[in-house]
């Protein structure tokens, strides 16, 4: 945070882009993943609330399934969301990267920090969101929340046929590895440039910044920021929500 008065410097403004256009193939048949319910509320609404919970976030841009923008707009109208935050909905693309780009394309002027947050991480706590924003505002142009790994990781030569034995190529030292989460936070201009420059297929936004040769830093993530990917993750997410409800005082 800067000590300068608002008269000499306009306040930093942060937007969150939420890619929610995936099908959720690994979750199995059903509605697009972001629209599936967790304890009765769509995962996407949980994710939007998680971003809007940060007082620093003044705009949330939701990237809807390409044929689902109207449905997502209706969901936003149906659910209670903080009024101090603005909301935009745009249709997404074939890949996560294209979907994030569609969100960046509608960023209004005046936003200088951008978060990119998976709709599939509906339960990230606000302290994690704020930690990422603070690190960007403190001068790191690209910030990712991450956790140490529980499992040892092996690099293999992937088998041509799934299920066949795969030769191990290497075992990176676990203590040096981190499992990265979202929201990832960026200087706006840097993230836009990364998305305009890098065309390789990547699985997160920070790796595009790395490909530009620019530094990315890791800050502490949170267990509850896990990604809902497979059916068991739905069970875990609903258990986390039930625990929160119990702790919120019954
Ligand atoms: N996403 C997106 N547009 C795509 C693909 C993915 O906006 N074309 C979003 C997903 O909606 C999700 C996030 O990117 O919020 C992370 O992707 P992932 O967890 O892989 O979700 P899906 O692609 O939906 O799941 P799967 O890979 O199992 O199909
Ligand atoms: Mg996917």
At 112-121, the pLDDT tens digits run 999 999 999 9
Q: What is the pTM of this model?
A: 0.95
Domain 14-147+179-248 has CATH 3.30.70.360: no
| Tens place of pLDDT per residue across the chain (250 aa) | 445 555 666 667 999 999 999 999 999 999 999 999 999 999 999 999 999 999 999 999 999 999 999 999 999 999 999 999 999 999 999 999 999 999 999 999 999 999 999 999 999 999 999 999 999 999 999 999 999 999 999 999 999 999 999 999 999 999 999 999 999 999 999 999 999 999 888 999 999 999 999 999 999 999 999 999 999 999 999 999 999 999 986 5
CA-wise closest residue to 52 among 79, 83, 74 = 83
Which residue among 20, 22, 89 is best mutated to probe the pocket of ligand 1, counting the most ligand atoms within 8 A of its Cβ?
Answer: 22
| 97: its two tokens | 């990267």
| Digit-coded pLDDT (tens) for 27-77 | 999 999 999 999 999 999 999 999 999 999 999 999 999 999 999 999 999
- Copy the structure tokens of residue 239: 């258990």
For ligand 1, the distance from its centroid to the CA atom of residue 105, given in whole angstroms, is 19
Kindly state if the Cβ of 22 falls inside 6 Å of ligand 1: yes
C-alpha–C-alpha distance, residues 56 and 133, integer Å: 8
DSSP codes, 219-231: EE--GGG----SH
Closest CA to 16 of 44, 58, 53: 58
Return the residue whose CA atom lies nearest to atom 8 of ligand 1: 95
155 Cβ neighbours under 8 A, 6+ residues apart: 168, 169, 170, 171, 172
Q: What is the per-residue pLDDT for 148?
A: 98
CA dist 116 and 103 (Å) reads 9
Give the pLDDT confidence score for residue 199 in this predicted structure. Answer: 86
| Long-range Cβ pairs for the range 170-177 (8 Å, 24+) | 174/148, 174/149, 175/148, 177/148, 177/149, 177/153
Question: Is the CB–ligand 1 distance for residue 34 below 6 Å?
Answer: yes
Predicted confidence at residue 213, as pLDDT, reads: 96
Q: Is 23 in the pocket of ligand 1 (CB under 6 A)?
A: yes
| pLDDT at residue 36, as a whole number | 97
pLDDT at 249: 67
Predicted local distance difference test score (pLDDT) of residue 1: 47
């Amino acid at each position: 945070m800067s000590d300068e008065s608002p008269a000499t410097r306009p306040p930093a403004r942060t937007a969150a882009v939420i890619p929610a256009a995936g099908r959720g193939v690994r979750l199995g048949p059903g509605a697009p993943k972001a629209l599936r319910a967790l304890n009765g509320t769509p995962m996407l609404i949980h994710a939007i609330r998680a971003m809007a919970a940060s007082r620093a976030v003044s705009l949330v841009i939701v990237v809807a399934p390409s044929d689902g923008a109207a449905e997502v707009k209706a969901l936003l109208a149906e659910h209670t969301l903080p009024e101090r935050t603005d909301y935009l909905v745009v249709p997404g693309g074939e890949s996560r990267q294209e979907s994030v780009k569609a969100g960046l394309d509608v960023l209004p002027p005046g936003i200088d920090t951008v978060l990119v947050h998976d709709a599939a991480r509906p339960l990230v706590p606000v302290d994690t969101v704020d930690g990422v924003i603070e690190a960007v505002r403190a001068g790191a142009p690209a910030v990712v929340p991450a956790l140490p790994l529980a499992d040892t990781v092996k690099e293999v030569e992937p088998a041509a046929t799934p299920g066949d034995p795969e030769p191990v190529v290497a075992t990176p030292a676990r203590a040096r590895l981190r499992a990265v989460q979202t929201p990832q936070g960026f200087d706006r201009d840097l993230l836009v440039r990364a998305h305009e420059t890098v065309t390789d297929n990547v699985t997160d936004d920070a790796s595009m910044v790395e490909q530009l040769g620019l530094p990315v830093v890791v800050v502490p993530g949170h267990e509850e920021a896990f990604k809902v990917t497979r059916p068991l993750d739905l069970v875990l997410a609903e258990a986390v929500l039930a625990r929160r409800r119990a702790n919120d005082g019954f």
